[in-house]
Chain A
């Protein structure tokens, strides 16, 4: 092992004490900055996040600096200026610092060259360098992130017990506890074929990211070794505090039964999904109340998330060396927009892409625009799911303005279930659907992962590469304006008549849903 980070100089006790006092004043100032106005919510979260970082990251450094024996306390004379040069990470030997250039490939090479004892030292003593670093195997990241999570739970739990938890810290603690339950739930899950414990992996752990919404990804199964890897991307209103393990467990079970191959499901809440709430701050029904001015629902968050999604998926491939899994990305609701943009603009490294409950596929006009192409781009749109009618249609009709009629909602792209998009649509009618056909309802938007559903059956078949088992559905078809003109003999007056169908034809509404499962 090479040199250590002992080339620094030292500190002046009074100066550092002043710095700690000033830092405390900044924290107090930020904690005292508040507004209950809903349009200020994002800014307030930013403020809380910064106060949290100052109090949990920097105050301990400043208040315990005298206990650091690697530092020299300067006397009254001038400090020995001239300073130090790299390494950049405090107290970590240079060879144990992951390379900062070369991306995940460089990290993977560096990791594979480390001795076992160095890897263990990194995981146990510097887990922050391991937990979220692409290129490091999932098992190592998992161990590091669990160490970090346990430490955070203890630290924030103590503050909670002492009654000193700030609002932002409380939100972060909620995220951590949800993540903890999600990992524990996966740890306890047993494989349906072997009856052995499957095990969970805490693959990404950053509970304070995005102003307190958090960035978390939890796997069921072994991301390092599984033959089939599914990455699920959630949508509107989801954050680290809502991450759960039930959906991934249901998908895991169905996918295992579909093929018998090994499977891992990564529940990825790795981007800042749009939040929505009423003016009073309560969760809102988007269709009753629209999206609040806190955040207009447009493609911006999806576009930012697409970059992160593509990078994380690339990291999954890199960490496995040449042993690439069959990888499926499944975007649900707004997450489908995020996933589609990643496949359109960010070179998403997925073999299959599944879009369920999609309000739009970003700027892609046809499935062939996506990295997965028309053959491996799949769409699950229940005929009774109102969200799936928000997407733009293949022809221009007044329906294209539906999204614009909902306050705060902008177009999120084409409806991928239409014939004009040329993706492969599979059956996804909910067994308990509330009536079929457009305009549908909001209740049937959340049924795509239901047990024994057509949707889960088909997603599991795709995830496990059993394409022959997928039960496909007819596309939706939107009559184009020229067709309407012809039928109406160029008389546009009836175009505004209520009898003109403003929604696409969907034959899926005309049949009864079927209970489906790969479990026999």
Chain B
């Protein structure tokens, strides 16, 4: 495998790690702790709404990172295929 392909795979790996970390963000715990036995007021409702919106945005961001990782992996595969062809047919014969 060429250095470029390996570099692409390393980047994809990092992006997947960041996405996994996002999915572990303890926002759901926040949601659970902000229930009506903790506080009841307009701010409580606004807080829960905000948390739900943050959660959705973080999951979207995680999805985007995973998608970018998939793209990088595909680029790595293409690079590897090109490298294999180059080895089989160096082109100077």
Nearest Cβ in chain B — how far from A343, in angstroms?
30
Contacting B at CB under 8 A, from A346-390, are: none
Surface stretch bound by B, among A28-36, A214-222, A394-402: A28-36
Judge whether A110 is part of the interface by a CB distance below 8 angstroms. Answer: no
- Which of B39, B61, B64, B71 touches A15 (beta carbons < 8 Å)? B39
Say how far A439's CB is from chain B's closest CB, in angstroms: 30
Task: Report yes or no: A33 in contact with B18, Cβ–Cβ below 8 A.
Answer: yes
Closest chain-A Cβ to B13's Cβ sits at a distance in Å of 11
- Report whether A43 and B39 are in contact in the complex, using a CB–CB cutoff of 8 Å: no
Among the listed stretches A18-26, A178-186, A427-435, which one makes contact with chain B, having 4 or more residues with CB under 8 Å of it?
A: A18-26
List B contacts of A12 (CB < 8 A).
Answer: 37-39
Is B79 among interface residues, defined by CB-CB distance under 8 A? no
Which residues from B are CB-within-8-Å of A39?
A: 11, 15, 68, 71-72
Total of A-B residue pairs, C-beta within 8 Å: 118
Given contacts A10-B41, A16-B39, contact A58 B47 (CB under 8 A): yes
Q: Provide the bound-state CA to CA distance between A80 and B46, in Å.
A: 20
User: In the bound complex, how far is the Cα of B35 from the Cα of A221, in angstroms?
Assistant: 48
Alpha-carbon distance between A424 and B18 when the two chains are bound, in angstroms: 51
Quick one: CB contact mask for A307-344 with B, threshold 8 Å, 1 for yes? 00000000000000000000000000000000000000
CB within 8 Å for A30 and B38 given contacts A53-B50, A54-B54: no
Query: Closest residue of chain B to A57, judged by CB?
Result: B50
Residue of A nearest to B49 (CB): A88
Contact present for B29 and A8 (CB under 8 Å): no
Are A10 and B54 in touch, CB under 8 angstroms? Answer: no
B52 close to chain A: CB less than 8 A: no
Closest residue on chain A to residue B17 by CB atoms: A35
B74 to chain A, nearest CB (A): 13
Query: Can you pick out 11 interface pairs between chain A and chain B where the beta carbons lie within 8 Å of each other?
Result: A5-B42, A8-B42, A12-B39, A15-B38, A33-B18, A37-B14, A39-B15, A42-B64, A43-B64, A53-B54, A81-B37
Residues of A within 8 A of B (CB): 5, 8-12, 15-16, 18-19, 22-23, 25-26, 29-30, 33-35, 37, 39-40, 42-43, 46-47, 50, 53-54, 57-58, 61, 65, 71, 78-81, 83-84, 87-91, 293
| 9 closest Cβ pairs, A-B complex | A15-B38, A8-B41, A11-B39, A43-B61, A9-B40, A90-B42, A39-B68, A46-B61, A50-B54
